[in-house]
Amino acid sequence: MPLSTGKIAFSNMVNKDTAFGKDEFNVTLQLEPEEATLLSSRGVKLKDYQKDEDTPAVPQRQFKTKYALKPSGIVDAEGAPFDFEGRELPRGTVVRIQWPEKPPHLLVVFLPTSLRCVSWS
């Protein structure tokens, strides 16, 4: 299964995202240009986020699932289960996410199977 590395822009991996009628767990990653190129070459659709005209656009990808990850599915850099105490991972946390590759089609949903926190603030 492919691994993707990025910084968290938005995280709903501990508590479900219910905004706008959603009912899912998800994480949106800001990707480095090399990672974005790799994902694009595999047919993964990305979105660019640009805060304003003076800042460069940052490629992002949202990974989502309707199922909570097992407690052992979210680990720190050493592989130990990460203790969230009910809080989400903060913005800017560098994570590595493992997801099953699916053939590209209109309704692609990537289900994260594990999430490793590489560094956090």
One DSSP character per residue, 16-44 reads: EE-GGG--EEEEEEE--HHHHHHHHHTT-
Q: What is the pLDDT of residue 86?
A: 73
Rounded mean pLDDT of 104-115?
46
Q: What percent of the chain has pLDDT over 90?
A: 21
Q: How many residues does the chain have?
A: 121
What is the residue range of 108's domain? Answer: 3-119
CA nearest to 63, candidates 105, 12, 117: 12
Domain count, the chain: 1
What pLDDT does residue 31 have? 94
Check if the beta carbon of residue 110 is closer than 8 Å to that of residue 64: yes
Kindly report the backbone phi and psi dihedral angles of residue 85, in degrees, each rounded to the nearest multiple of 5, phi listed first: 55, 40
Q: What is the mean pLDDT of the chain?
A: 79
For 52-79, write each residue's pLDDT tens digit: 889 889 999 988 888 877 766 777 777 7
Contact 24, 41 (CB under 8 A): no
User: Model confidence over 15-31: pLDDT tens digits?
Assistant: 889 988 889 888 899 99
The more confident residue out of 61 and 98 is 61
